[in-house]
Amino acid sequence: MSDPIRSVVILGGGTAGWITAGTLAARFKKDHAQPVSVTLVESPSVPTIGVGEGTWPTMRSTLKKMGVRETDFIRECNVGFKQGAKFARWTTGAEDDFYYHPLVLPEGFQSHNLAPYWLAGGRQSSFSSAVCPQESLCEHNLAPKLIGTPEYSAVANYAYHLDAGKFSGFLQRHCTEYLGVHHILADVTGIVESENGDIAKLQTDTAGDITGDLFIDCSGFRSRILGDHYQIPFRSCKDVLFIDSALAVQVPYASEDSPIATHTISTAQTAGWVWDIGLQNRRGVGHVFSSAHTDESGAFRELAAYLKLSESELDKLGVRKIPIEPGHREKFWHRNCVAIGLSAGFLEPLEASALVLVEISANMIAEQFPASRAAMDVIARRFNETFRYRWDRIIDFLKLHYVLTKRTDSEFWIDNCDPATVPESLKELLTLWRYQPPWHEDFDRAVEVFPAASYQYVLYGMGFDTSASAFGLSSSHHEQAQQLLRQKQNATQQMLAGLEKHRNLINKICQYGLQRV
């Protein structure tokens, strides 16, 4: 029990496996005189699930810590910049119904809450356009940086849209060539326990037995170790989040110089919503829906209508159906095995929560890596408590998008507003926010996946009403708010004048590259 942990074995590649491998290997290489070995085992015949993924700004620090050049990443993974999400037809269903969840925080957000001033001012503009520049940047299709801005630095905060298949291959090359990750292509045929119940080794068809001290399950929905072997129960949340199916397709641009959207576009449908992600060479589009509220043919017709294609034209593009079981394992770290990615769970693509959970899971393991097996159970307990909290908060945040709708045109939207489908924790927050806007103290943890600003953007984007404070607004706070709003206005004008179109910047990066950090 006191022997040091010397080897990590990751089962499964894909985005989750390679992000985890790279995060751990880079940390070990940097901090340890005798680095822990990292081995990744993946089947040569299992394809990547991803269809064109959205990320969070955390991906910039994740890649930077691995030693990845942003220029190489953008060139090789068909990357576009992402500055947030535009939600269309979620509130009323009208053609002009939309709001933004941008990635820039409201002006002065760490110390000042501008929501009361926006509410008191009569809502003359949308909340996001009132408190930050990014809605304007997205509406004008402007990039979040310049060709002279160094790698990973920003003029406006940003994340990425990426080709998941190319990204996995890119990370594989980087991890094996620069970070020393051992890569084994083989099918696992058996899992062998030691006497104490830990995983001792994986048996494979072509690479023999693979032993390790810590095993990380990135084997996808099957959850080969945590689910299949250890039988850790799966906690469904389909009673809260109804989405259980996706139809995904790759859509070519009309021409090589077609604009690339600089945000994810999420457009509500009769029984779900359509994602639309702009990459350099194509769009990744998909319709996620509830099979309890429509069938596959109905979802297919709505996807064709969204793309302005006939059903036969859409069929020729090669639509993939992906089943979704929304939920997660009851615990994520059991004995000497921890699950990351789809093996831990999945909710739905809304707000790109899947990849950010991979990143923060891998980071927590790297930062609190157990020195010995004796320390592992303590860290596993902390990990499980942390991620139970995080999954619950993400479920609340995703449900928020549905429960605030005013749509009554289909059973899907009506059923989403049924109080029986709303978690008690979210009901409590909504009651609180009827009387005061969301703020830092409303959450239990110092670091949240979705901070109070995210709740503000969704709440007030969808027309939620918070009563004016009974105490009124002090003149000093009013002056500070007005100063911050003037700063925001000046920043917006400078960015609109100085930034260039998204595709123009992408083309320049592919041709010339960004300045090294």
Residues labelled as active-site residues: 82
Task: Outline where 198-329 has alpha helix (H).
Answer: 296-307, 311-316
- Chain centroid offset of residue 73 CA: 18
Residues 273-296, buried b or exposed e (16+ Cβ, 10 A)? bbbbbbbbebbbbbbbbbbebbee
Handedness of CA 290, 293, 299, 302 (dihedral sign): negative
Say which residues have a Cβ less than 8 Å from residue 381's Cβ, sequence separation at least 6. Answer: none
How many C-beta atoms lie closer than 10 Å to residue 125's C-beta? 12
Query: Which among 329, 446, 333, 336 is positioned nearest to 384, based on CA atoms?
Result: 333
Residue 99 near residue 106, CB atoms below 8 Å: no
Q: What is the DSSP string of 500-511?
A: -BHHHHHHHHHH
85 is written with which tokens? 């999400």
Residue 115 near residue 438, CB atoms below 8 Å: yes
Enter the DSSP assignment of 224.
I
CA–CA separation, 69 and 172 (whole Å): 14
Handedness of CA 407, 410, 415, 416 (dihedral sign): negative
Strand 84-88 versus strand 98-102 pairing type: antiparallel
CA–CA separation, 332 and 341 (whole Å): 10
Residue 474 near residue 482, CB atoms below 8 Å: no
Query: Which among 396, 346, 356 is positioned nearest to 244, based on CA atoms?
Result: 346
CA–CA separation, 163 and 150 (whole Å): 23
Number of H helices, E strands in the chain: 16, 22
Enter the DSSP assignment of 317.
T
Residue 74 near residue 510, CB atoms below 8 Å: yes
- DSSP three-state, residue 423: coil
Classify burial at 43, counting beta carbons within 10 Å of its beta carbon; exposed 0-12, middle 13-18, buried 19 or more.
Answer: middle
CA–CA separation, 393 and 407 (whole Å): 24
Classify burial at 462, counting beta carbons within 10 Å of its beta carbon; exposed 0-12, middle 13-18, buried 19 or more.
Answer: buried
